[in-house]
Amino acid sequence: MEIRVASLSTRWRACRGPGYAPGLLALANRRFHIVLKAYAGHWGLITGASSGIGAEFARQLAARGMHCVLVARREDRLLSLARELTAAHGTRCEIMPADLSQPHAGRELLAEVARRGIEVELLVNNAGIGMVAAVEKADVERALKLIQINIASLTELTLVAAKQMVGRGHGGIINIGSLVSFQPVGYMGVYAASKAYVLHFSESLWAELRPRGVTVTTLCPGTTRTEFFDHSGVPGWAERNRGQDVQSVVRTGLAAFDAGRQYVVSGWVNYLVSLASRLATRATVAKWSMSLFRGHG
């Protein structure tokens, strides 16, 4: 029998009860089974699922028994991933090609999900683009497209899905921020600003919705080995700067979500950088950030 509850963190707190203090092994085993039950048989919707962090979220969620709605522009990659997940884990997958750079694409996407009779228990807003360029070389149209995807569509999907989850009394949202959510970045100002928005918006919702059974967590990765920088104007940058692998980034994000945390920075070095950027003066941080992409803008 499957019992539906508010969120992973709610289930974990409820199971402990007053005075519950097992050994570490028993604690880990109990938490593992709670997590599996909370994900298994439910639906997760992952945007930007055709590669990188989004595809890895789909893999790790499917491994926990979650069915996946896979969203991206590249349908061929979604089909390949769906076949992989079904073969490996026996989970169901729905393919929904979508261009989130278009106005109202988020609402249209969720309307189609509802038409297919799917109730989204977990929304992963991973879709996003970047741009590294000096002001005089900046592509204004790409900057506006970035704002539409990284901010407008994420906001639309989050608010529409959150309303549905609050009505049911359970659900969860993972929004992908960045290490640059905590600071400005020279040559990357539009992207850094968009990720600051994601963090502040998501933390506000975390505080508002957690008493109502909905967990909102922001995952803030640092440099990660994906296609992101290749498409942002600095090909090979992640490889030259010791980027993290997607597996560890996603594991960190899911662990934070399971614990009901409002945000998490992936990797201890990245976490220390995020603290340093808050301790230094804003002028110091802004000027230091110029060194990251100088010569690439």
Write phi, then psi, for 289 (nearest 5 degrees).
-60, -20
User: DSSP letter at 81?
Assistant: H
Rounded CA-CA distance 11/27 in Å is 14
Residue 197 is among the residues annotated as catalytic for this protein: no
- Are the beta carbons of 175 and 216 closer than 8 angstroms? yes
Sign, Cα dihedral of 97, 103, 109, 115 = negative
Helix axes 246-258, 52-63, angle to 10 degrees: 60
Rounded CA-CA distance 260/214 in Å is 9
Give how far the C-alpha of residue 168 lies from the chain's centroid of Cα atoms, to the nearest Å.
Answer: 22
Give Cβ neighbours of residue 100 (< 8 Å, ≥ 6 apart).
47, 71, 106, 109, 127, 148, 149, 153
Catalytic member of 39, 187, 191, 263: 191
Q: Which residue has the tokens 């930007």?
A: 48
Annotated catalytic residues are 191
